[in-house]
Amino acid sequence: MLCSPAQVAVRANYDNPHWHRGKLTEIAFTEERGAIARVFLIDYGTFLEGVLVRVNVRSMPRNVRVIKPLAFQLVASGGTS
């Protein structure tokens, strides 16, 4: 079972043959589609939204997990003005 914020292999959709490294950031469950994820692509710095987990998300292979990400997600926290 994948849990947020797991490192995963992800593709945009079933027809896309290209898998990318990502970090699972959110999972939602729907009756019609099952588990749907939001994934941060750790080598591109962008998000994939609405990814169907059952067919487009896999555990990241161990040998790939050790490679450092090329992008990072930054979250600004409340500054003062």
Residue 3 clears pLDDT 70, i.e. is over it: no
Q: What span, in angstroms and rounded, lies between the C-alpha atoms of 70 and 67?
A: 9
pLDDT of residue 11: 96
**Fold of the CATH domain 7-65:** SH3 type barrels. (2.30.30)
Q: How confident is the model at residue 78 (pLDDT cuts 50, 70, 90)?
A: confident
The residue written with tokens 């500054």 in the block is: 79
Q: Which two tokens stand for residue 65?
A: 């997990």
**Closest of 22, 5, 7, 10 to residue 53, by C-alpha:** 10
- DSSP alpha helix (H) spans, 1-81: 53-56, 62-65
pLDDT digits (tens, 9 = 90+) for 12-64: 999 999 999 999 999 999 999 999 999 999 999 999 999 999 999 999 888 88
More confident residue, 32 or 75: 32
Domain locations in the chain?
A: 7-65
